[in-house]
Homo-oligomer: A and B are copies of this chain.
């Protein structure tokens, strides 16, 4: 059986990609070897990863080195190992760390999937009473507004509805959101000082439901985020995630 069809596998000598930094430790090179194949699509979720012995042969490393690489990837949740059967690419349940203000594009790419964004609305508007209160500006003050849908592959993973204070982060609407996410733009223009989050569950209104391509009655996770820069509110964001395809992960421990 062609266990491992070995599309490349130059067998003996320089089996490790020369693009890798030789300075890195061997076990890290092996980890990258696996991660690159996952990111590149050569290895997909559920598929079998070369066994320790196979790696020993194809990469010319000792079994302990291959073992450490696979074991650490398993500890990270990238791989799943079953004694006597093999090592497999983990089914990726979507994860995010609520404590960190993360970039959803990075998150998606880190899982080896294609990131796409659809710009639904870009606008400048004047603050309602409620918005003004949350931004601590005067009612009627100008605010930038964006409504985007972020896709993982072809599936919407987040609807991002965002208000930005142009006094704190000027030029928001001139940003090319297909190249720079709101998050990336904001941390560049208005260094993040602090962020507040609230998380709740709801069955979304039709507008959000359509953008997330949800069935009627499906739940979604709403993360409301308020970010501060230079002591002022830089932006308010409502992040909607499909309840069935998204979960927040958090480890609670002094690291």
Task: Kindly supply a per-residue 1/0 record for chain A positions 230-255, scoring 1 wherever the CB is within 8 Å of any chain B CB and 0 otherwise.
Answer: 00000000000101101111111111
Asked if A219 is at the interface of the complex by the 8 Å CB criterion, the answer is: yes
Chain B residues lying within 8 Å of A220, measured Cβ to Cβ, are: 201, 219
| Interface status of A203 (Cβ within 8 A of chain B) | yes
Asked whether A193 and B254 contact (CB < 8 A) given A202-B243, A203-B219, the answer is: yes
Stretch at the interface among A10-18, A91-99, A140-148: A91-99
Give, as a whole number of angstroms, the nearest-CB distance from A133 to chain B.
11
For residue A8, CB closer than 8 A to chain B, the reply is: no
The B-contacting residues of A in range 124-147, CB under 8 angstroms, are: none
Most B CB contacts (10 A, CB to CB) among A99, A196, A246 go to: A99
Interface residue? A176 (CB, 8 A): no
| Docked complex Cα distance between A92 and B199 (Å) | 16
Instruction: Report if A188 contacts B (CB, 8 A).
Output: no
A90 contacts the other chain (CB 8 A): yes
Contact (A97, B203) CB under 8 Å given A217-B217, A219-B243, A243-B219: no
Chain B residue, CB-CB nearest to A253: B194
A244:B202 contact, CB within 8 angstroms: yes
* Contact residues, A99-114 vs B (CB, 8 A): 99-101
Interfacial residues of chain A within 175-220, with CB under 8 A of chain B in the complex:
192-203, 217-220
On chain A, the number of residues with a Cβ less than 8 Å from chain B's Cβ atoms is 44
A221 CB-CB contact with B under 8 Å: yes
Q: A170 to chain B: which residues have CB within 8 Å?
A: none
Contact A198 B244 (CB under 8 A): no
Give the docked Cα–Cα distance between A98 and B202 (Å). Answer: 18
When C-beta atoms are compared, the residue in chain B nearest to A195 turns out to be B252
A127 to B122 Cα, complex, angstroms? 53
If the complex has contacts A77-B253, A250-B97, A254-B77, are A221 and B199 also in contact, measured as CB distance less than 8 A?
A: yes
Provide 5 A-B residue pairs closer than 8 Å at the C-beta atoms, listed in order of the A residue.
Answer: A95-B198, A98-B197, A99-B99, A199-B247, A201-B222
Closest CB pairs A-B (n = 7): A201-B201, A201-B243, A201-B221, A219-B219, A199-B248, A197-B250, A195-B252
